[in-house]
Amino acid sequence: MPDPAHSPAHNQTVSKRIFERARKVMPSGYTRHLVVARPHPIYADFADGCWITDVEGNRKIDWVNNFSSLIHGHNKRELVDMLATQGARLMSAVLPTEWEVKLAELLCARIPSLERVRFMNSGTEANQIAIKAARAYTGKPKIAKMEGGYHGQFDLLEASFQSTPENWGDPKRPNAIAYQGGHPQALLDLVVILPLNDIEAARTLLREHAHELAAVILDPQRLQLGMVKPSQAFLEMLREETERLGILLIFDEVWALRAGYHGFQGEIGLTPDLTTMGKIIGGGIPVGGCGGKAEFMSVFEVDAGDPKVKHSGTFTANPLAMAMGFTSLSLLTPEAFADLAAKGERLRDGLERIKRDLKLEATVLGEGSLSALVMTTKPMRNYRELAAAFAADLGRSMPVVQSLLADEQLLTMRGGFIGSTPMTDNDIDFTIAGVRRAFERYKVL
């Protein structure tokens, strides 16, 4: 049993009182299901650098960074100054501002696929707009996505995000399964589910549905938080087949853009037709982006009359998000990305030492500033293998995660670590020491 002195429920009277108020005005007391915790969540108070402090005064190193959006951590001086300066000057307006142009110029200069860019307010919205653009350009209705792929809270793209052995069907022809209530069958009929890393099965499905497929969308770097990597050969097949069959290839780089100065597509040398973005391009402010080659982005053009795709929004390209995004990305130099990658490698090396010293049946995953430790040695080449690994791992890893939460560490429930630029070698070593203590404490061997 967990040591009560190290339980996350220890000394949380302030959070408990806040949660009791929350339950009276929000369903079950929550606005985000990702923060659901028992008996109640821990409420944040303030943060600085890579450390966050809750309302009880407990300080933790932040390895979640609001699910990757805070690549510079908290309270970055240049960003705080920009927030104050631009907030006092102009937060939002119906008129466009130069900040929008500056951020677009920066992105087009860095990301290989981008010749034209449009902005929106989240990664979910970016993927919605990208699908609309692909349909308008090709004149075809369906889209294809990876089994287990996550692309935000758009029910079309939520299909088979968390399907189960009871409903996922043939591994060569996965079923399109509703993720949650309110997902109509009519939308499921518009989705073709591809098995990740099965080159021949995916190629067969693409060719079979080519006449009705507008686009294939995937995160080219990872699948869910388990970091199941699409193989280079699989990605090359997708690029070759979509180009040959008249299907647009969309890279969802809402997460993957943090992989390097030129995004993940720059790291692997493959250029999609459209790219969706979010998180780090807003400097901590809600943002989304969709861009690609001018030919495919022409569906938004108004020069010749009404556009094929009409897109606007009250807070689209608001100057606060544009200014913060430009400032944040300007700080992400090649040297900054190299330092992020080095810190990530230092963490993974430390996790490997723990695994070896304690003889853990575990696997260290990740690259760049994203890392994970999962309690399995079985291969995870697709969603089904990932799901099986996490099902077997959950009971063994949860006590460790709970221990780390009580031991000045904040990480994802699946044991994921998302790095940020203010982290130092001492912060990395502090985390490694904490992970070792947690495994020793619970003897999860």
> 262: domain CATH number?
3.40.640.10
- Average pLDDT rounded to a whole number, residues 421-435: 96
Catalytic residue (one of 219, 252, 273, 427): 252
Same domain, 218 and 315: yes
Q: Are 60 and 66 in contact (CB under 8 A)?
A: no
Lowest mean pLDDT among 40-54, 72-86, 106-120, 402-416: 402-416
CA R_g for the chain: 22
Segments forming the whole domain that contains residue 84: 77-331
Same domain, 170 and 242: yes
Give the bridge partners for 367, in sequence order: 370
DSSP annotation string for 335-356? HHHHHHHHHHHHHHHHHHHHHH
Residue 139 CB partners (closer than 8 Å, separation 6+): 214
Among the three residues 308, 331, 354, which one is the final residue of a domain in this structure? Answer: 331
Residue 373 three-state SS: strand
Same domain, 265 and 348: no
76 is catalytic: no
At 34-80, the pLDDT tens digits run 888 889 999 999 999 999 999 999 999 999 999 999 999 999 999 99
Same domain, 178 and 324: yes
306 is catalytic: no
Same domain, 87 and 162: yes
| % the chain with pLDDT above 70 | 95
Catalytic residue (one of 140, 145, 229, 279): 279
Catalytic residue (one of 62, 76, 142, 150): 150
DSSP at 43 = P
Same domain, 154 and 168: yes
| Complete edge-to-edge strand list for the sheet that includes strand 409-410 | 44-48, 51-54, 59-62, 409-410
The model's pTM: 0.94
Total domains in the chain come to 2
User: For position 32, which CATH number holds?
Assistant: 3.90.1150.10
**Bond before 39 cis per omega within 30 degrees:** yes
Q: Are 202 and 213 in contact (CB under 8 A)?
A: no
Among the three residues 310, 331, 352, which one is the final residue of a domain in this structure? Answer: 331
Which token pair is 411?
């990480």
Confidence band for 113, pLDDT divided at 50, 70 and 90: very high
Same domain, 321 and 378: no
443 is catalytic: no
Same domain, 291 and 167: yes
- Average pLDDT rounded to a whole number, residues 399-406: 74
Among the three residues 281, 309, 331, which one is the final residue of a domain in this structure? Answer: 331
Q: Are 236 and 108 in contact (CB under 8 A)?
A: no
